[in-house]
Amino acid sequence: MAFKRTSEPLNLGASIDLVDGTPASLTVSLPLSSLDREIFVVTDIQMDTEALGVPAAAGTVNLLGSVNKTSTNVEGIDSPNCVGNIRRDIESTAFSSVFQESFYPNESSTGMSTDYISIIATPNFILAGSFATSAGGAANRKLYARITGYRAKADADTYAALVTEEINQ
């Protein structure tokens, strides 16, 4: 893959307010020039949420989120469209509560030109999320994301292949 770094590391953040039972997404613009065949090389990603409350009665609470290249749906790490995702679940019974959490990728890169998590070639990324409780009507919860990376200029063949891959996912 042929691309040349054209910027220092950038931190780009976004947050979305999630309503109980209603999936949502937010499109975030990247500082890229398609005329110059610029791409965004993602070196790190962090995601977090507001605290989830434990259900007073037996029930469940779950919050899912992902940073995607083009999809407005929450994607799993098995999707080539997904840059990173988070999942937080609470299951409560009459006797106890269990909390589960996963976040992928769960490691950081060094940010070197040969070390990156993903490449975004289109001029946006999508923050998608869903929040649901078994009782319904819970207060909204925020989903936060920050991606770190740098702009790079790709050669024509690489740029065309990356854009085509993203659009056809």
pLDDT tens digit string along 51-87? 988 887 888 999 999 999 999 999 999 999 999 999 9
Fold (topology level) of 3-167: Jelly Rolls (2.60.120)
Taking a C-beta distance cutoff of 8 angstroms, is the pair 8, 150 a contact? yes
Domain ranges of the chain: 3-167
pTM: 0.90
Mean pLDDT of 7-20: 95
* Inter-CA distances, 31 with 2, 52, 80, 127, Å: 20, 33, 22, 16
pLDDT score for 56: 76
- pLDDT the model gives residue 108: 65
Q: What angle do CA 62, 24, 119 make, to 5 degrees?
A: 95
Residues 6 or more apart from 84 whose CB is under 8 A from it? 45, 47, 66, 67, 77, 103, 104, 105, 117, 145, 147
